[in-house]
């Protein structure tokens, strides 16, 4: 029997959100970024654009502010996208972090998300 592999979808990531899309924000993803659904992001304090979390940065992208609610390809130019920003429950296995992120950096990012009302659960 052939096995079909389904790509991750929003239901794999987002387990609860508030009514009327209150949990979501439209954001601008910085040029040069290709972000998958579930990518944890920070906001550049100069441009206001979001980019993949970078714990070593000093431009604001070192602070986790949300989770991408869709795949976005902004390689050519800044691109509008939707992010989970508040009052939501997300599944830990569906989150995407930067390569080489340490356990301490993961704990910090999860704490930052929780301070924004984004609760992360292993078995969500």
User: In this predicted model, what pLDDT tens digit does every residue of 74-91 receive, in sequence order?
Assistant: 999 999 999 999 999 999
DSSP type of residue 123? T
Domain count, the chain: 1
What band does 1 get if pLDDT is binned at 50, 70 and 90?
confident
Q: What is the C-alpha radius of gyration for the chain, rounded to an integer number of angstroms?
A: 14
**What residues are paired with 70 via a beta bridge?**
none
Q: What share of the chain is helix, strand, coil (3-state, %, to 5)?
A: 20, 35, 50
Within a domain: residue 2? no
Residue 66 is assigned to a structural domain of this protein: yes
Predicted model pTM: 0.93
Q: Does the pLDDT value for residue 124 go beyond 80?
A: no
Distance between CA atoms of residues 48 and 105, nearest Å: 23
40: tokens are 């944890």
Report the side by side order of strands in the sheet with 88-91.
Answer: 14-17, 88-91, 118-121
Domain range spanning residue 31? 10-121
At residue 121 the predicted structure's pLDDT band, cuts being 50, 70 and 90, is: very high
């Amino acid at each position: 029997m052939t096995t079909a592999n389904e790509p991750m979808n929003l239901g794999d990531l987002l387990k609860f959100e508030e009514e009327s899309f209150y949990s979501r924000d439209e954001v601008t993803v910085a040029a040069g970024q290709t972000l998958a659904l579930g990518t944890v992001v920070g906001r550049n304090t100069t441009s206001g654009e979001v980019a993949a979390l970078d714990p070593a940065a000093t431009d604001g992208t070192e602070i986790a502010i949300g989770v991408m609610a869709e795949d976005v390809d902004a390689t050519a130019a800044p691109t509008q996208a939707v992010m989970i920003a508040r009052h939501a429950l997300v599944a830990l296995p569906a989150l995407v972090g930067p390569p080489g992120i340490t356990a301490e950096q993961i704990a910090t990012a999860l704490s930052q998300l929780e301070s924004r009302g984004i609760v992360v659960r292993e078995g969500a």
